[in-house]
Structure 1
Amino acid sequence: MTTLDNYDWKILNLLQQNGRLTNQELSQIIGLSTSQCSRRRIALEQNGYIEGYQARLALKAQKRQVQGLVEITLNHHDPETMERFHHQINANPAVLDAYKVTGEYDYQLKVGAYDLNGLNTLLNELASYTEVSQIKTSVILDRLKENQIVLHREQLESSDDMHV
């Protein structure tokens, strides 16, 4: 599969919105046979266009009522330092997402904790890593959109009404 056609893009978009769609449901929505949808889905998976299927859990189910974005700068950028830091954040279950980025800092992490005290403990732990020279943190007040999924549509619609 070198290039994706419109049917492939439709399958990807639909599965991104609802990964539980069956091939039968996909076929009804996009107008291909069930077997065609199945073959296309398998090809998309095998060619790395679909990396996996997960359930999006509510914060209370994750026991992570407080989430934050943490910007981290390392004190050195040699391969050994970065590898140690990668190992530490990969092993830390409170680090939900981790990105190596360009700009003022080296990494941006999305972290979660049960409460503010837990977040403070986590930040102290991250600051104690010998590879870390600087940390900047923002607490997430509300999640509006994640993975292209709008999480609070009613809030957006009510705020749109206010601007009319």
Structure 2
Amino acid sequence: MNAIDNYDCQILSLLQRNGRLTNQELSQLIGLSTSQCSRRRIALEQQGYIEGYQARLALKAQKLQVQGLVEVALNDHSPDAVEYFHQQIHCNNAILDAYKITGEYDYQLKVAASDLNGLNQLLTTLSGYQGVSQIKTAVILDRLKENQIVNEENNLP
């Protein structure tokens, strides 16, 4: 991958805030020509800095009111057991994000449910997955920040 410069960082920051910006709008905001912004955006996409564009739906639009963070520990780390667990979390639509982590637990899952009863049912389902030895849950009370990557050098996300 080629190194990115300050203009590329500005493009990434602006697109992260509003993925619907046109190349003309980007050019006005950062002071490059529309064609330069277009070439840079395409290059950032091809180099994998931009993975895609999508609408982020509010959970209320999906009738999901409760979110939680669930840490999961497995008691069997054999390739078959791990693959089985991965398949289970990929098939479960209530799991929004899944991360393999270090520490006391093996995975951290961000989950959503319609209400506390739905969250309880999800936790029961997760506990029943083969190989799961322990889960720890925290209910998310408020989202303070999400999907922002801060670049320390120029303070641009």
TM over 0.5: yes
* Aligned-residue RMSD, C-alpha: 1.1
Aligned positions of 1:95-134 closer than 5 A? 95-134=95-134
Alpha-carbon distance, 1:52 to partner: 1.0
Alpha-carbon distance, 1:37 to partner: 0.5
Distance 1:62 1:100 in 2: 26
Q: Which residue of 1 aligns with 2:4?
A: 4
Count of residues paired in the alignment = 149
Distance 2:50 2:80 in 1: 32
Q: Which residue of 2 aligns with 1:81?
A: 81
Distance 2:93 2:113 in 1: 10
Alpha-carbon distance, 1:76 to partner: 1.2
Alpha-carbon distance, 1:148 to partner: 1.8
Q: Which structure has the higher relative contact order (CA within 8 Å, separation 6+)?
A: 2
Q: Provide TM-score, normalisation by structure 2.
A: 0.92
Segments of 4+ moved more than 4 angstroms: none
Q: Which residue of 1 aligns with 2:59?
A: 59
Q: Which residue of 2 aligns with 1:146?
A: 146
Distance 1:39 1:78 in 2: 46
Distance 1:23 1:98 in 2: 33
Q: Provide TM-score, normalisation by structure 1.
A: 0.88
Q: Percent identity at matched positions?
A: 77
Unaligned stretches of 5+ in structure 1? 150-164
Unaligned stretches of 5+ in structure 2? 150-157
Structure with the bigger percentage of helix: 1
Distance 2:37 2:108 in 1: 37
